[in-house]
Amino acid sequence: MPAMMLLWGVALVLATAATTYVLHRKMTYGRGPEPDGVFWDLFGGLVVIAPAILVPTVQWPPAGLIMVFVGIATAAGTLASIRKVERIHAAEPRRRAGFADDAARHESVLEQWRRYELDPAQTIDFPAMTDVRSAETAALTRAMREAEYCKVTAGTDYRAAVERLAHALTDAERAAGVPTSAPR
């Protein structure tokens, strides 16, 4: 009996969470609640939810009460989670705008550095820009790695890492003897 309760409990939680999520999405983000679609989504969920409540109840009557509570708690938890995610996503555009600016600057600095790597004339004229034995070039490669890491890792200061990368490139160019009027 405990295994059966666990099996139906898992089915109940999954079906309730999925049904709640789908119905919330349709009601909130749909082009208006389409009664036919809502009916079939609700019906599909109830095809699993109802047996998950009724079958354990037949075996042990208090199980019905437990399963109803689990279903209600799952629906409430799903809605609370959806609302929390929506709040996070609502704040996202402000963060994304700053991130896009930082990413554009990061790409610009990398493009500037790539010329030394990919242009044979620049590589010949300024070999120190690709020689990591030079302290400034080694610092540049570390700054590149740090900026890439911060770009994909939450909770890091991506803007500061990009700023350090830009300074490291300037320092490496100065150490390599790149004139300030050199094509960039």
Confidence of residue 121 (pLDDT cuts 50, 70, 90): very high
Main-chain dihedrals φ then ψ at residue 127, nearest 5 degrees: -65, -25
The identity of residue 13, as a single letter, is V
Percent of the chain with pLDDT over 90: 73
pLDDT at 184 over 90: no
Residue with tokens 């666990």: 6
* Alpha carbon distances (Å) from 87 to 65, 75, 155: 33, 18, 18
Is the model's pLDDT at 33 over the cut of 70? no
pTM for the structure as a whole: 0.53
